[in-house]
Structure 1
Amino acid sequence: MPRIGLFGGTFDPIHNGHLHIARSFADELDLESVILLPAGDPYHKTTPRTAAHHRLAMAEIAAQADSRLAVSDCDIVRQSATYTHDTVQIFRQHFPAAELWLLIGMDSLLQLHTWHRWQNLVRQCRIATAPRPGSSLAQAPAQLQTWLAETLPQGRLHILQAAPLPISSSQIRQQLATGHTSPDIPPAVLGYIRQHQLYCHTGV
């Protein structure tokens, strides 16, 4: 049975912290592939500042560094608001026999009960969560406690052991806007940014 990971994000821009977590996700769960999903129009966040086709292209460039990484425009091509439940459903249809893993941050996990059709979502896939400073399972609200009590013994929830790198997309955008380079971006991605003059304005 193939094991496939799904890792969504704004990726504005994609950076070494994203790639570190994606590789750790693949390593710890022995995934055949991790599919990066640049956001289209996520209903729970503000609209990404950089055009979707640029964020998609940067993710594709970054993914070339690891054969386990792939990129999908699934969330970009949909014209309506994108819900994680719907994205997972699409991949479940494409890979009916696969063991699907969805990677989300610990802060997002603690809000999982507020997501669109979350109870059906967790039946369609397993959840991996990346640790975040100040967030832990001990903070889970009552709405999630029963699910956690059932899920942890079943092996359907995995907490990544790898510590996230302290890299911020907003700080990278600030650096680029002031004419500086950033060591936290893969060189090929930085080349794309320079070629297309992205992040040249002062806003973040």
Structure 2
Amino acid sequence: MTMHAWVGYGGTFDPIHCGHLAVARAVRDALGADVQLVPAADPPHKDATHADASHRARMVELAVAGERGLHVDRRELARDEPSYSIDTLREVRAEVRDATPIVWVVGADSLAQLHRWHRWRELFDLAHLLAAGRPGFSLDPAGFAEIDAGLADAIGRRLQPLDTLLDAPSGALALLPMEPPRTESSTDIRRRIADGEPWMSQVPPPVAAYIDRHRLYARPVSA
């Protein structure tokens, strides 16, 4: 694994599941770099989390334990204010050399909403974006014109091949198709747990044990 790039994969991980791990491994292998999984404290562009930050971070730690090149970065959990990706990337850029490539991994579903993110255009001043395939969300750049013209323009100007992403410190967008796309969904896993349906196969075994032990996502027992 190279130490000449900082690669972050942010998310609520509520809970982390096998699809998240598959993306992290694919990014690690494609870039030949360590990947930092960055649990969010309170992401403004998503609904409130269901498990508190300490539980979510611990599940990520359990999921990546023993995984080559995968680590947990808790920096966002220490913030009292809302957790914005731009702030995380600004922190990282201040910690690494100006010439160090920074890559921020997002899902194709998040890429389709990028124009709604806080100061989204400034992300490219600090880092590259790497979009991983998600079921139901096309990575075809032409399709983004129907979502937002400014987003489509940014994607069209910044898109470059994945194998050239680490040639510069920031400013580009690359695509990482996941074929077939992983179908796991944290929302569906939480629903399955609450409804008593099978779910354990969709998360790493240590995470399943942790969820079960702490009764996370279960419906409250009626008195």
TM-score over 0.5 for the pair: yes
Equivalent runs, 1:18-167 vs 2, <5 Å: 18-31=20-33, 33-96=34-97, 97-132=99-134, 133-136=136-139, 137-140=141-144, 141-153=148-160, 155=165, 156-163=172-179, 164-167=181-184
CA distance in 1: counterparts of 2:197 and 2:174, whole angstroms: 40
SS at match of 1:20: helix
1:141-162 residue CA offsets vs partner (Å, 9 max, x unmatched): 3213432333124752211132
- TM-score (normalizing by structure 1): 0.89
Equivalent runs, 1:160-175 vs 2, <5 Å: 160-163=176-179, 164-175=181-192
- TM-score (normalizing by structure 2): 0.82
CA shift in 2, pair 1:195/1:107, >3 Å: closer
Residue 75 of structure 1 deviates from its aligned partner by: 1.5
CA distance in 2: counterparts of 1:185 and 1:134, whole angstroms: 22
**Runs of 4+ residues over 3 Å off in structure 1:** none
Equivalent position of 2:203 in the other structure = 185
Q: Give the % identical residues.
A: 36
SS at match of 2:208: helix
Query: Is the contact made by 2:142 and 2:152 (CA closer than 8 Å) also made in structure 1?
Result: no
1:13 equivalent in alignment to 2:15: yes
Letter in 2 for 1:21: V
Structure 1: gaps spanning 5 or more residues: none
CA distance in 2: counterparts of 1:111 and 1:199, whole angstroms: 27
1:67-89 residue CA offsets vs partner (Å, 9 max, x unmatched): 21111121211111111100111
1:198 equivalent in alignment to 2:216: yes
Letter in 1 for 2:36: I
CA distance in 2: counterparts of 1:65 and 1:174, whole angstroms: 29
CA distance in 1: counterparts of 2:15 and 2:52, whole angstroms: 11
Query: Is the contact made by 2:14 and 2:56 (CA closer than 8 Å) also made in structure 1?
Result: yes
Q: Please give the root-mean-square deviation of Cα atoms over the aligned residues, in Å.
A: 1.9
Query: Is the contact made by 1:175 and 1:182 (CA closer than 8 Å) also made in structure 2?
Result: no
1:93-129 residue CA offsets vs partner (Å, 9 max, x unmatched): 2222421111112232233233222222111101100
